[in-house]
Amino acid sequence: MLALFPQLLLTGLTIGSIYALVAVGFVIIYNITGILNFAQGEFPMIGAMLCAALLAAHVPLAPAAAGAIVAACLLGALVERLAIEPAFGSHPLTLVIITFGVSMAFRGLALLVWGADPYALPEFTPGAPLAVLTGVLGRQAMWAIGLSVVVVIALFGFFARTLPGAAARACADNPFASRLVGVSPRRMALLAFTVAAGVGAIGGIVIAPITGATYDMGLGLGLKAFVAAVIGGLTNAPAAVLGGYIVGTIESLVTGYLAPGYGSAITFALLLIVLSLQREGLWQTVRRRQV
Amino acid sequence: MADCPAATGVSRDLAGLAVLAAGLAIVPAVAPSAYVMALLNIVGLYTIVTVGLILLGTSGQVSLGQAAFYGVGAYGSALLARDLGWSPWLAMPGAVVLVVATAYAVGLPALRLADVFFVLATLGVGIIVNVLMIQLDPLTGGASGLRDIPPLAIGGRPLTTDREYFYVIWTVALAALVVARNLTTRRTGRALRAILGSEIGAAALGIDVPRYRMRVFVLSAAYAGAAGALYAHYVRFISPSPFALYASLFFLIMAVVGGLTNIWGGLFGAAAVTALDQIVRAQMPRLFPRIGGEYQTAIYGIVLILIMIFFPSGIARGGIDLRRLLRGDAAGPATDRPAAADVVSGGSRKRAFGRRPRVRSEEEAWASPLTETSRRPQVPARGDAPASPPVGTTTENPHA
């Protein structure tokens, strides 16, 4: 029984890496715009499906992946311009519902364009898996975990060291004041969505060789990544990454030790527990309620 | 105190009700086919759920877990009637009691959360309940569902046709509408709208905010549960799939189309969305012969987006918003006001926690939080930078 544990843990970390990447996108958008973007889970799906489509057109893997990521970024920007920006200033619930609408639209469009069949993506570096402890870690899984860490570090560098990143941080901190110094919150919102879409697409492309790509993989990803982000406190990106790994590990352990179907239920039970205990996650940085 | 607009419409509402009841009475005689009757029955059931969701909306809350209560009502009534041998007329209220208990259990922790997190808590509950429906196989029949649910019977004779169920379902639907309308025009409705306007303000007026919020949440769950119980005895076979997240979103769309604070919108929303669904199912295969699956989610998604952007108070009310918009009034706070408040409270994060503007017009007081859109004010120009060029060098285009 306990012998399963290392393998389940490794699987959990693998799955957790995509939750981590999607959760990071959540946190970026939330920090800069205050919106909870429930279409976040669709960006991995788009990235994976576009990459699969490009591969089917005999484009080599690296340009296909790059093209898919760029296209996902453009779609993210499009979402911001078409669906979020017209409702700018609305009540947050309105915006959340809009993002649900966006997620439904993407899912339906993906179904129309690519059909319901799963698509396979090739591994980045095919080869024998690595034996870790008493478990096995596939090479693609190593890519997934490694890339998630690299992406988070790169994002940290972007936001900490570059001028657009500083502008984004200013906007996250105080949009009114940042307007006074010439930072446009609307442009920052565009940036947030673009970056989050790209990060999500990277996650989708790296995890698709392991799990396959289907048109409806986005909803579950988005919701579980949201749980991860909430665990991390919604404003703290490294904590969201950690939350992603926690969610992935718990889901893997539940799937292994209990029935497979309970994974989602336990994840959401965890969400409810975290919400009722801390209301904003384990790293509480925001007050719960305003007058 | 200003006149309650709803109170002055009492006779109008009652007249509307009478017309509706009369119209419904003759529908079975003129319905073209059994399929249409079945469709109208489903619309009736959805109307009940949607009215419940709209009731919840009048207090400023949105639930994405109505499908769970719908399902608990259905499974509860089915199990009570089939396995415990209760008469369906007893099983249905019994199921509603079960749903009420569930709603209390869910509401106690969930209602303490701020708006957006409450929505997500209901979403989580919906998913958990749906998973339990699938996993608790010995009780619920698992993914294959429950069959052989006893039908409703009047005087020993079981109801068998859609026509007979039509009367039962629509009687309950009408009763639901009447109850909801009475609630919203009486003291409860005013209390809910006060809570919608400002919880602290309502509490300052002596309104027991937590109690009202819990009661309206439980009531909306009871509505969904009653509809679910009826559904179980109508179709006599239930499985977990109609009670998934997709159904909750569907109910939300119906409530949004009808108008989240407009009780009659429940009827309109349920009917409109069901009609749209039928049209989509009929027409899409012609345009895209290859497709299968839930392609209509794309359309509903776009519909949802468009409605929340342009008609957040519902299509029925959309005309009102457009008129004010064309007259040049801002239908809500100017873009500058939330920003000004940000200076005081500091940070865009705060915006996400249901902070509502302090000054509300009377129209706003009757609207839901989802109608707070900052329409483009005529002056100053829409954009983020102040009208004069910002100090310092920047290449940002302020009107991007």
Q: Do A271 and B124 touch (CB under 8 A)?
A: yes
Q: What is the mean pLDDT of residues B144-152?
A: 82
Minimum mean pLDDT range among A52-66, B61-75, B272-286: B272-286
Average pLDDT, chain A: 84
- Would you call A290 and B355 a contact, using CB atoms and an 8 Å cutoff? yes
- Cross-chain residue pair A290–B354, CB shorter than 8 Å: yes
Chain A, chain B: beta-carbon pairs less than 8 Å apart: 249
Which one has a higher pLDDT value, B268 or B316? B268
Q: What is the ipTM of this complex?
A: 0.83
CATH number of the domain within which A254 lies: 1.10.3470
Mutate to test the interface with B, among A37, A91, A219, A236 (most CBs of B within 10 A): A91
Note the pLDDT tens digit of each residue in A79-137: 999 888 888 777 777 788 889 889 989 988 888 888 888 888 888 777 777 777 777 78
Banded pLDDT at B201 (limits 50, 70, 90): confident
Indicate which of A26, A94, A226, A230 best probes the interface with B, i.e. most B CBs within 10 Å of its own CB.
Answer: A94
Higher pLDDT, B362 or B297: B297
pLDDT above 80 (res B314): no
Of the pLDDT bands very low, low, confident and very high (cuts 50, 70, 90), residue B112 is confident
Within 1-30 of A, beta carbons closer than 8 Å to B belong to 30
CA proximity to B30, closest of B206, B166, B139, B233: B166
Give residue-wise pLDDT tens across range B2-59. Answer: 444 444 556 667 777 788 888 877 777 777 787 888 888 899 999 999 999 988 888 8
| Alpha-carbon gap, residue B174 to B176, rounded angstroms | 5
What pLDDT does residue A86 have? 82
* Residue A233 predicted with pLDDT over 60: yes
Is residue A68 within 8 Å of A205, Cβ to Cβ?
yes
Cβ separation of B347 and A179 shorter than 8 Å?
no
Looking at this protein, which amino acid is placed at residue B161?
Answer: T
- Looking at chain A from residue 206 to 225, which residues have their Cβ under 8 Å from any Cβ of chain B? 219, 223
Pick the most confident of B194-203, B327-336, B389-398.
B194-203
Q: Provide CB contacts within 8 A for B95, sequence distance 6+.
A: B72, B73, B74, B75, B76, B77, B80, B225, B226, B228, B229, B232
- Cβ <8 Å between B392 and A262: no
Q: Provide the percentage of residues in chain B whose pLDDT is more than 70.
A: 72
Question: Å from B10 to nearest chain A CA?
Answer: 30
Confidence of residue B357 (pLDDT cuts 50, 70, 90): very low
In tens, the pLDDT along B225-242 reads 999 999 998 888 888 888
Q: What is the least distance, in Å, from the CA of B302 to any CA of chain A?
A: 6
Domain encompassing residue A146: 4-287
CA distance B368 to chain A (A): 10
pLDDT (tens digit per residue) in A186-224: 888 899 999 999 999 999 998 888 888 888 888 888 889
- Total number of domains in chain A: 1
Q: At what angle do helices B245-258 and B263-287 cross, to 10 degrees?
A: 120
- Chain A contact set for B296 (CB, 8 A): 108
CA neighbor of A175 nearest in space, from A31, A1, A62, A74: A31
| pLDDT at B69 > cutoff 70 | yes
How is residue B55 written in tokens?
A: 């009731």
Q: Cα distance from A212 to chain B (closest Cα, Å)?
A: 19
Residue B79 in this model has a pLDDT that exceeds 60 = yes
Q: What is the mean pLDDT of residues A9-22?
A: 90
C-alpha angle B84/B223/B315, rounded to 5°? 150
Cis before residue B380, ω within 30 degrees of 0? Answer: yes
Q: Model confidence over A20-45: pLDDT tens digits? A: 999 999 999 988 888 889 999 999 99
Q: How confident is the model at residue B291 (pLDDT cuts 50, 70, 90)?
A: low
Q: Can you tell me whether residue A230 is helix, strand or coil?
A: helix
